[in-house]
Chain A
């Protein structure tokens, strides 16, 4: 289980202690800078030792993030961060595990893994930096681009509708679902902190604009609003209602319930090869 001294621990790690020497390769003004800063803030808030922290990613601009942190990083192949994170978490439950990446990674090539990761409800925090465009490959449409979106790969407009990522994870059994905005780093850091502290599968959808290929800063600033204080995060129906809202973009914790209790398992014993082989005696 994640070791998270929350209140009483003295502050040892400052946000800067989680940064590596590598300079981010992102374009100036990229939303991912705000996400990186918010992650550092959240890590310092929970005071996790960097040596006990693993950050797993796939491929894309945002998936370069682990290298910019002074943590154990696993920069995997396109779309496969979640299974790698799950394998690592099962093998090393003592580690704090984050999975990070973009909308291409989590909602297109790797979408097949998302519902399964959610229903397993392992203690993993997922941070999706969604810019609704393929940035690293220089400007193709993504699964969260709006209908009619004109890009290099959809010169006559994207004919498909965008998917609702929060609805997908809610329907799959995620126990913590939230949305933040890279331009509101304080709120985002709070959401990430809450996600890390949550002992089940925490999914944080982050609106993180691409300044180069699809600049949505102005649009998002008009569309975002905080979930009303009356919203009850334990109410799945209400969470689902907000999750499919597309006229405006609510921010905050959509849904939170206690994580699944583990099922009983045999008490581990040392393995004895000879005793095992004796089962096969002729």
Chain B
């Protein structure tokens, strides 16, 4: 039997029975033992009840997507089997509780009955099913077995009594697995400990904002962005910053704009419904040239939509939301590491260009954990907004001065002789209302023109795959993960595929995209929304025709779904699942 060192394990049960806590501890144990991990989870939108699942992909090599199919399913109950059997890989492994349901006759892979309830009870911990499961999985597949105890201690060890019973359950689970007759190929041999972080996308956004020097945060609770607000609530008072849980999203962004007008680096975080409410204020920040960072952790829409599923369907809102010609910068991270990287740059760009910057994350990225290589913090300069060169004489200061690069000096209150009113009315260089045709034209050109150099930047694209190829993928956000996976799988078949991940969606880095277009014949644009919002953007901005591949189930792409389309574009048969 050939050992497989890349496994997708899904733990599925009922909300409240601990399957998601199990998954988290499993991911951490695997990461601590030197493996690369990538997690994926779904939860019901309701507080209690309903099916939940937590998935861990662990490998000896870096992982960039959730995987194509489930190699190991741990079904806590019959419903978990019913919901997830369709996602199983051929020759998958099933762990199931025989006291909950009988082995389905349709299942042909390797099955291990694990009476988790019974094992837990015998270990003296009736509620320890999840910890038993953790022990079983770790022992059976080699996921950080020797790290488990310390993780359980850290996670559940607040009360000695509770800790003892959980450790008993864990050991019982490990013992049960070790007496099983192992008949599957999955075994992760840890490569030794490395300095890596295990973080979620939201945690990386918080860390990035703090590294960027955030001084003010205002927000309003919304899934999946709330824990960014909660992290800021803890951290900002510790570093002397300002924090506000606002009464709604309009108040949240206006408070950020007020703080930024006051000279502080300000940020809010929300999801689609909140971004809709913020749209008017985004136009105001654009018009008054006040820096502000807005994180939109996208979820399924429209309206309340699918609050606990991912979608990339807020692109149009981020690009165009707000009336009038209101420029802004839009960035989209694809991974946890990029959440850190692009959040730092979101602050720098907001300050440098004095404009709102929207960071488009999504539900899958908000909550998934990945192993992340240490960040090279010396790579991140701090860029501040332009301020007047020296002391000002009376009547000298012009807030919206038309400089060579169209970026004007911005004072914060407290500077003598520089008082001005930031108004959403069209204004002249001095900041006074001015609706003359000539003035509106030149100030509109100023606000757009100052961002124009970014179109020539190569700093916000990532290039992967073949140097030249018939098929080239252009993608954005978390879809870049499965795209890279598909490019890798195609490479295994000697099928050249080029790929460009665009991290900046406004202004669009047209130079880099045009260079890429010269290297490919056919452009494939996969994205998780119905309209093909990015495909439309590329077609409109570059005057090209692309193949749009859309998915709108509330779930991310798998590598295979994209590889299938690559095969189709090459006129080949469907890829075979190995």
A residues less than 8 Å from B250 (CB atoms)? 79-80, 83
For residue A50, CB closer than 8 A to chain B, the reply is yes
Q: Please name the residue on chain A nearest to B380 by beta carbon.
A: A273
For residue B122, CB closer than 8 A to chain A, the reply is no
B residues less than 8 Å from A274 (CB atoms)? 377
Given A90-B259, A94-B414, A95-B262 in contact, is the A73-B420 Cβ separation under 8 Å?
A: yes
Tell me the bound Cα distance from A80 to B158 in angstroms.
45
Check if B261 sits within 8 Å of A88, measured CB to CB: yes
CB distance from B152 to the nearest CB of A (A): 16
Tell me the bound Cα distance from A54 to B237 in angstroms.
24
Given A51-B416, A71-B419, A76-B257 in contact, is the A273-B377 Cβ separation under 8 Å?
A: yes
Check if B251 sits within 8 Å of A273, measured CB to CB: no
Tell me the bound Cα distance from A274 to B251 in angstroms.
33
Flag A132-169 by CB within 8 Å of B: 1 or 0 each.
00000000000000000000000000000000000000
Choose among B247, B374, B416 the residue with the greatest number of A CB atoms under 10 Å from its CB: B247
Tell me the bound Cα distance from A53 to B414 in angstroms.
8
Check if B255 sits within 8 Å of A282, measured CB to CB: no
Given A84-B255, A113-B251 in contact, is the A74-B240 Cβ separation under 8 Å?
A: no
Q: Pick the contact of B258 from A22, A56, A113, A282 — CB < 8 Å?
A: A56
CB distance from A148 to the nearest CB of B (A): 32
Q: Pick the contact of A72 from B196, B213, B413, B423 — CB < 8 Å?
A: B413
A residues less than 8 Å from B260 (CB atoms)? 91
A residues less than 8 Å from B280 (CB atoms)? 77
Check if B258 sits within 8 Å of A83, measured CB to CB: yes
Flag B26-54 by CB within 8 Å of A: 1 or 0 each.
00100110000000000000000000000
For residue B195, CB closer than 8 A to chain A, the reply is yes
CB distance from A104 to the nearest CB of B (A): 16
Tell me the bound Cα distance from A269 to B257 in angstroms.
25
B residues less than 8 Å from A265 (CB atoms)? 237
Given A72-B413, A87-B218 in contact, is the A67-B207 Cβ separation under 8 Å?
A: no
Q: Pick the contact of B198 from A53, A73, A77, A280 — CB < 8 Å?
A: A280
Given A74-B422, A276-B207 in contact, is the A87-B255 Cβ separation under 8 Å?
A: yes
A residues less than 8 Å from B263 (CB atoms)? 91-92
Number of A residues contacting the other chain (C-beta, 8 Å)?
Answer: 49
Q: Pick the contact of A91 from B254, B258, B372, B422 — CB < 8 Å?
A: B258
Tell me the bound Cα distance from A54 to B418 in angstroms.
12
Check if B255 sits within 8 Å of A277, measured CB to CB: no
B residues less than 8 Å from A205 (CB atoms)? none
Given A71-B419, A280-B203, A281-B197 in contact, is the A87-B28 Cβ separation under 8 Å?
A: no
Given A86-B244, A268-B237, A271-B210 in contact, is the A282-B262 Cβ separation under 8 Å?
A: no
Tell me the bound Cα distance from A79 to B247 in angstroms.
14
Q: Please name the residue on chain A nearest to B261 by beta carbon.
A: A74
A/B interface sample: 18 pairs, CB < 8 A? A52-B414, A72-B421, A74-B257, A77-B280, A79-B250, A85-B258, A86-B258, A87-B216, A88-B262, A90-B243, A90-B259, A92-B263, A113-B247, A271-B210, A281-B196, A282-B31, A282-B196, A282-B197
Partner-A contacts on B (CB < 8 A): 28, 31-32, 193-199, 203, 207, 210-211, 213, 215-216, 218, 235, 237-240, 242-244, 246-248, 250-252, 254-264, 266, 280-281, 284, 371-372, 374-375, 377, 412-425, 432-433
Partner-B contacts on A (CB < 8 A): 20, 22, 50-54, 56, 66-67, 70-77, 79-80, 82-92, 94-95, 112-113, 116, 265-266, 268-271, 273-274, 276-277, 280-282
Known: A84-B255, A282-B194. 17 other contacts (CB 8 A): A22-B432, A51-B415, A73-B419, A74-B257, A77-B280, A83-B251, A84-B258, A86-B255, A87-B256, A90-B244, A91-B215, A92-B264, A112-B251, A113-B247, A265-B237, A271-B210, A280-B372
